[in-house]
Amino acid sequence: MELPKISFYNEISRMMFAFGDSNVHNPDTVTLVESIVLKQLRTIVNEALKYWDGHILKGEDLIFLLRHNKIKMQRFIRYLQNKILTNKFKNLTSNIIDLDSDELPKNKMIEFIEKIDETGEFTSLSDIDEVKIERQIRANMMANELDEKKYAEFHKARCTSFGRFRTSLERLRLWIDPKRSVSFNQDALDVLSYFAYQTVAEIVGYALLVREDAKAGTDPFKNLHGSYYTNTILSASNRFGANEPETSKVANQPPISVNEIKEVMRRVHSPQAGKLNFGGSPPVTHYLFAL
């Protein structure tokens, strides 16, 4: 029996736009990113299977893989809290929400994180998530350059995900495991959807850094923190409202290229020599963007 052909090409192309790529994407680049995301998700599942009970892969089995990265764990907790609050707001007629309460919203996945959080660093949420802040700055700078029509497209792109609805989660499951060799519960699919989204975000962010490195040349000040947001890429002359349709694209920049993505992967798989591991090897998942 022939397995169904499933693709998230359209979703990934919109996500890449939302994270800073040109709105006129490079099809080959999107295809490459899609293959990377799928490969990494399957690797994540294989890692999680080391901790499962042999019956159903649960969200907790996947969350456990985040234990090596405090910032990403805190980012995931914030995602869970926002999702819980969103679901509560959908039922305002039957629920009273105390937004001033000191008690943070929880579900069983947050409770699991609290159990493995021996030092309290995961749930303190006190660390600054610089990567997320930079994504927000980039999105705000892009949004300020758009006319009403293009802003609507950008907003749609920012709302795109891998598993907004149950049908999308089922597609995601079949994409990752077309032979249905693993049983996933609902929480596991939600976590995988989140990991896939974060993987696209990380790849685009690194690709833009690769581009800035290429532009820097011998200028020692070119890559100072924040320079990406003030260079001519986002100048007023390059906004969406240009008369020529062929130049009406975000930041008037070329789409992220295949070579830029390949350079990202080269750097990820070939870490700088002499990296300190403090007496131990880095976790086997160190090259997985979501972790």
The CA-atom distances, in angstroms, between 198 and each of 105, 131, 202 are: 22, 11, 6
Over residues 43-72, the mean pLDDT reads 91
Percent above pLDDT 90 for the chain: 47
Q: Determine the distance from the C-alpha atom of residue 278 to the mean position of all C-alpha atoms in its chain, rounded to a whole number.
A: 29
- pLDDT tens, residue by residue, 115-150: 999 888 888 888 888 999 999 998 998 888 888 888
Helices 27-48 and 9-19: crossing angle in degrees, nearest 10, is: 100
- pLDDT tens, residue by residue, 203-245: 999 999 999 888 766 555 555 544 443 333 333 333 344 333 3
Residue 240 pLDDT? 40
The CA-atom distances, in angstroms, between 261 and each of 65, 77, 233, 255 are: 25, 29, 19, 11
Bridge partners (DSSP) listed for residue 184: 57
- pLDDT tens, residue by residue, 157-174: 999 989 776 677 899 999
